[in-house]
């Protein structure tokens, strides 16, 4: 099972999932507030993890892979429902609160500021976002969430809730996990060498919650490790999933 990051969709994992489809069943999930999944009126990691857990069965535990926001959901799921997770791969995020979401707030503000009623085609949205989101790759990623219904356009991501509760999105739910035991299954951390989401200073939290972990840093990769270095990512993940 693959879980995407903030502003993402399950299909972001398509290339990686295809690499495993020959000898594994793969499941790509749209997290709540994203893609074709439901929107709630608030953001809560525990509730989201429990919703995703509802897709699984203890009779058939999964190798769970989550990137960024999806990595946090995956960690919470493994902690609360360890019987559902045979092994866990966390991609470029740590079990900590990051304290700031200013970059994400800027993206949300830019997307909310787009007058969808005036759009004729997707290129108009691209041009309208260029000043606020100058990075072409990031802009294209955000615009994956723009959907056309007949003659109108809509965002397929819950910008209002994610924007209003960004502090929760960038946090780690320590208080809701009080009394929860560490996850005792094998855990692989894959981080990008150019990213600072997985730092040595976070090792204490990683080891506390996930004592049986090992860490791999991928060169020439930033936060989107699996997109920037897909061949390396697949090889590292395959060694982990096939190990016993």
Please, are residues 104 and 170 in contact by the beta-carbon 8 Å criterion?
yes
Query: Would residue 226 show up in a list of annotated catalytic residues for this protein?
Result: no
What residues contact 34, with CB distance under 8 A and at least 6 apart?
4, 7, 8, 9, 145, 156, 157, 158
Choose, from 68, 81, 92, 94, the residue flagged as catalytic: 68
CB-CB contact of 26 with 17 (8 Å):
yes
Q: Is 68 a residue of the active site?
A: yes
Catalytic residue, chosen from 34, 67, 81, 223, is 223
Cβ of 90: how many Cβ atoms within 10 Å? 28
Quote the CA–CA distance of 17 and 180 in Å, as a whole number.
31
Measured between alpha carbons, how far is 92 from 14 in angstroms, rounded to an integer? 18
Tell me if residue 117 is catalytic: no
Alpha helices in the chain (DSSP H): 14-20, 45-53, 69-80, 102-112, 122-129, 136-143, 159-164, 166-169, 203-209, 225-228, 230-242
The number of beta carbons lying within 10 Å of the beta carbon of residue 190 is 25
Query: What is the CA 235 to chain-centroid distance, rounded?
Result: 20
Backbone angles phi, psi at 118, to 5 degrees: -100, -5
Tokens of 124: 């108009």
Q: Which of 40, 44, 50, 160 is catalytic?
A: 160
Cite the active site residues. Answer: 68, 160, 223
């Amino acid at each position: 099972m693959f879980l995407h990051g903030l502003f993402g969709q399950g299909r972001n994992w398509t290339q990686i999932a295809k690499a495993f489809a020959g000898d594994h069943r793969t499941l790509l999930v749209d997290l709540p507030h994203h893609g074709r999944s439901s929107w709630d009126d608030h953001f809560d990691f525990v509730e989201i993890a429990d919703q995703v857990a509802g897709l699984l069965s203890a009779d058939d535990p999964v190798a769970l892979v989550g990137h960024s926001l999806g990595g946090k959901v995956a960690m919470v799921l493994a902690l609360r429902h360890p019987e559902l997770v045979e092994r866990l791969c966390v991609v470029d995020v740590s079990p900590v609160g990051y304290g700031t979401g200013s970059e994400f707030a800027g993206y949300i503000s830019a997307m909310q500021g787009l007058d969808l009623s005036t759009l004729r085609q997707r290129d108009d949205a691209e041009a309208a976002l260029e000043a606020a989101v100058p990075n072409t790759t990031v802009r294209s990623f955000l615009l994956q969430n723009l959907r056309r219904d007949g003659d109108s356009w809509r965002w397929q991501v819950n910008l209002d809730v994610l924007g209003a509760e960004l502090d929760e999105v960038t946090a780690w739910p320590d208080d809701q996990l009080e009394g929860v035991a560490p996850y005792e299954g094998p855990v692989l951390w894959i981080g990008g060498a150019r990213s600072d989401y997985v730092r040595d200073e976070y090792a204490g939290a990683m080891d506390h919650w996930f004592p049986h972990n090992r860490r791999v840093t991928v060169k020439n990769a930033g936060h989107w490790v699996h997109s920037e270095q897909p061949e390396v990512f697949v090889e590292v993940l395959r060694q982990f999933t096939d190990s016993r």
